[in-house]
Amino acid sequence: MGAGALATTGFPIKRERTAELLGFDGVLENSLDAVASRDYVTEIIFALTGVGITISRLNQDLHIWYSHEFGFIDIGDDIAGTSSIMPQKKNPMPIEHLKAKSGHILGSLTAGLAVLKGTGFMHCREVNGEMMHPFGDAVHEAEAMLRLADVVVRGLRVNEARMVSAAERNFSTLTDLADALVRKHGFSFRIAHQVVGALVREAVESGLPGAADIDCAMVERVIARIAGRTVSIDASDLAASLDPRQNVERRTVTGGPAPSAVQRMLDRAARDLAADDAVVTAREAGLAAADERLRKAVAALASIA
């Protein structure tokens, strides 16, 4: 407002007053930029695309976890879908929708950029009309994704026992054994890395299904072969190194998966969300105050007329 279609106006208006009455923080000073630029639109759609892709990637993992082969999670019957031909089948339809919907937001971003590409930096229908259509579509799809993701996450049922069993029946915890060889026996991590690699190879070739089946004698034998040293491995230390739960609980570093670290992240996220809510509340109050100022200004002009 006040920028006109190109170069403001010859009348002595106050653009700042218009901004005040409409609830804006200020004016975009360069009038041509105000008229011709739609950077804020693409920036918002960029942000929505990022949110959408993150949600989509989360649900890609959930879709795998939901499969019978994994069986890590289940979803509530109230949000699951039925199969058209298999009465015994329970389909994770919300998860499937969430995997796909980010494509619509990405499509909106591509459409908006395509409209702007090659457009003159001026007041034109491509910019102030056609460019805005993808924006509305992106907001609509992003809102739907956020609402649906909230329902899906709240309705997840985690099969903890299945997850722990899966972690025990592979070799993912062997990293902590390498760390223990460094801490307790003075190995360099390079040598510890070689020992653990050889240990897992032997376990696989021996048909062992996971780390839980590795014993002290096996570790000591591989150490002697790879490092040329005789080391006595304590059974309780080995069990602690290979236990999935303790593996997680030891990772208390900032950002780690230990319960205490996760709780810190949740607490911080809650504080950030509260701060964002306060910003939104303040913005809404500012807009309401601007509406009241505008109403009074119009009433004053009407009384003069």
CA distances from 117 to 39, 105, 109, 198, 234 (A): 12, 18, 12, 56, 67
Domain ranges (residues) in the chain: 37-158, 165-249, 256-305
Percentage of the chain modeled with pLDDT above 70: 100
Long-range contacts of 87-91 (CB under 8 A, 24+ apart): none
CA distances from 110 to 44, 145, 176, 190 (A): 13, 19, 45, 47
Question: How far is 42 from 277, CA to CA, in rounded Å?
Answer: 24
Question: How far is 52 from 148, CA to CA, in rounded Å?
Answer: 12
Which residues does residue 91 pair with via DSSP β-bridges, in sequence order?
Answer: 81
Q: Which of 77-81, 185-189, 192-196, 283-287 has the lowest mean pLDDT?
A: 77-81
Could you read off the pLDDT of 233-256 as tens digits, one per residue?
999 999 999 999 999 999 999 999
Could you read off the pLDDT of 61-81 as tens digits, one per residue?
999 999 999 999 999 888 888
Q: What pLDDT score does 29 carry?
A: 92
pLDDT of 257 above 90:
yes
Instruction: Say which amino acid occupies 252.
Output: T
Question: How far is 138 from 116, CA to CA, in rounded Å?
Answer: 16
pLDDT of 128 above 90:
no
Q: How confident is the model at residue 88 (pLDDT cuts 50, 70, 90)?
A: confident
Which residues does residue 90 pair with via DSSP β-bridges, in sequence order?
Answer: 82
Percentage of the chain modeled with pLDDT above 90: 82
CA distances from 98 to 56, 106, 120, 152, 244 (A): 6, 13, 37, 9, 30
Average pLDDT, the chain: 94
Q: What pLDDT score does 131 carry?
A: 86
- CATH number for the domain formed by residue range(s) 165-249: 1.10.40
Superfamily of domain 37-158: Fumarase/aspartase (Central domain) (1.20.200.10)
Q: How confident is the model at residue 127 (pLDDT cuts 50, 70, 90)?
A: confident
pTM of the model: 0.87
